[in-house]
Amino acid sequence: MNRKALSLAIAATLFAGNLLADDFDPNAKDGGAAVITYQNDVATLDPAIGYDWQNWSMIKSLFDGLMDYKPGTTELTKNLASDYSISEDGTVYTFTLKKGVKFHNGRELKASDVKYSLERTVNPKTQSPGAGFFSSIVGYEDMAASKAEQLAGIEVVDDYTVRITLKSANATFLQVMAINFSFVVPKEEVEKWGADFGKHPVGTGAYSLAEWKLGQQILFKKNPDYFKAGLPHLDSIAFEVGQDPMVALLRLQKGEVDIAGDGVPPAKFLEFKNDPKFKSLVVTGDQLQTGYLTLKTTLPPFDNLKVRQAVNMAISKDRIVRIINGRAVPANQPLPPAMPGYDKDYKGYAYDVEGAKKLLAEAGFDKGFDTEMYVMNTDPQPRIAQAIQQDLAKVGVRVKIKSLAQANVIAAGGSKDQAPMVWSGGMAWIADFPDPSNFYGPILGCDSAVDGGWNWALYCNKSLDALAAKADSMAKPEQQAERTALWKKIFIDVMADAPWVPIFNEQRFTVRSSRMGGSDALYVDPVHIPVNYNYIYLK
């Protein structure tokens, strides 16, 4: 017994000692200041509201959630939670919080803060774009309809324990607990600043906000009391806004800028990527994104499976990738390669003009047909649409392109009698969290095949919906492999119905100066988009 206690104590010391260094990169150095530029103003740093690729990672560095991901990966880890347990039926999650975690104002984080923060996001008065992520919690409807002030499903057991009850088992709930909208905020600061909390953020994160000069610069300062010892590495980060992306690259060349946040402008991309001086500065990474063409399965002639398959075979994806200067890789299924559940062995519909013609003839369209394609009106989307138009013309399908503002394309996409084809570029779909379910429900499921929804093919396969529901109820850790396999099958089965033509998966390119250190994966982090500021350092 004594021996056991001793070995436990030794293990604990070793573990704590290990925590002092960054266990992700032993070569990391501390200190220094980095300069990062962006063209647009940073909208808000309120975790309940910020929802663009510019503030997404900044918020992750100022605040924390119960869960997070291993840096540079899509692997879920515990963050503010020191432990969690899931009930047998998968509906009750009990989180134990780490002790001694302090907000930037010095107060310790308690379980009541977790409850408050989740309720704040769901509260309609907050106008959070992320409220819908929490719809699985008991009591969501009442609160969303302003009938209740609290979420009935969240219970503060004691200062360091919070229990969340779901309406039904939900395998994605831990992912939701890692999304920015679930991050913990201190009530007193939110009440102090009101609607301006986004300009005066106070969290528990690796950095705190030191200064915000509107339209000029945001300064992050290292949080010396950060609960993950040894992090962050940089003393400060200055985000300079209002910088033209071209000018930012010129300044990076001169050594005035460390990371050009907006990347390389499309027009300059090839020149930049092929220049030996810059080649080593560009980091390429995957994105949880798929660009696709939807075929409205309820609207003739796309209600005919053979027609949809023919369209899939008629489009040369390689050519489209060339049109956007190789900033993507061709796709053959809905899921992007970086997403769990992606099927490496699936070959998809090969490019085959003769085969497409034959299928169209079998479907009774040997003379082809006329149709319309809706597309967003900003470059490069219309150019991509034209490439698709030319490809389809070769098999006799005459496409009229409707190039419109984003809101109009989205509205037309969801309606029953319009938009037989929609090119998703510039709008859909980038995953909110790295789980395959996020690529099904909102864009392929029956529930989203409605007016105003995002399922623009109006695709509805009841048996696949049942399988998806089954997959999402597999919440236990030991079921995860089985669940991923099930999702893999669902997406390949979707392709048999061919409601989409998956075209490509966009890649991400970050440009950083030669003095920046840390694994390349940090600069194209799939979750901390675009860059994981907590782990990067100066060489």
Task: Name the residues that contact another protein, by CB under 8 A.
Answer: 40-41, 43-44, 46, 49, 51, 124-125, 127-133, 144-146, 195-196, 198-199, 213-216, 240-244, 246-247, 250-251, 254, 256, 405, 407-408, 432, 442, 452, 454
Closest CA to 262 of 476, 539, 531: 531
Q: Which is nearer to another protein, 51 or 351 (CB)?
A: 51
Q: How far is the CB of 42 from another protein (least distance, A)?
A: 8
Q: Which is nearer to another protein, 295 or 428 (CB)?
A: 428
Q: Which is nearer to another protein, 299 or 430 (CB)?
A: 430
Q: How far is the CB of 463 from another protein (least distance, A)?
A: 25
Q: How far is the CB of 272 from another protein (least distance, A)?
A: 15
Q: Which is nearer to another protein, 77 or 127 (CB)?
A: 127
Residue 423: its H or E element = strand 421-423
Q: How far is the CB of 247 from another protein (least distance, A)?
A: 5
Q: What is the chain's length?
A: 539
Q: How far is the CB of 51 from another protein (least distance, A)?
A: 6
Calpha distance 425→504 (Å, rounded): 10
Q: How far is the CB of 269 from another protein (least distance, A)?
A: 18
Q: Which is nearer to another protein, 22 or 435 (CB)?
A: 435
Q: How far is the CB of 304 from another protein (least distance, A)?
A: 30
Whether the ω angle into residue 124 lies within 30 degrees of 0, i.e. cis, is no
Helices (H), 91-169: 111-122, 140-144
Calpha distance 44→52 (Å, rounded): 10
How many helices and strands (H and E) does the chain possess?
A: 18, 20
Calpha distance 308→356 (Å, rounded): 10
Closest CA to 506 of 426, 449, 452, 440: 426
Q: What tokens were used for 124?
A: 């309609």
Q: Which is nearer to another protein, 41 or 372 (CB)?
A: 41
Calpha distance 462→468 (Å, rounded): 10
Calpha distance 88→97 (Å, rounded): 21
CA torsion 273-277-279-281 (nearest 10°) is -110
Q: Which is nearer to another protein, 144 or 305 (CB)?
A: 144
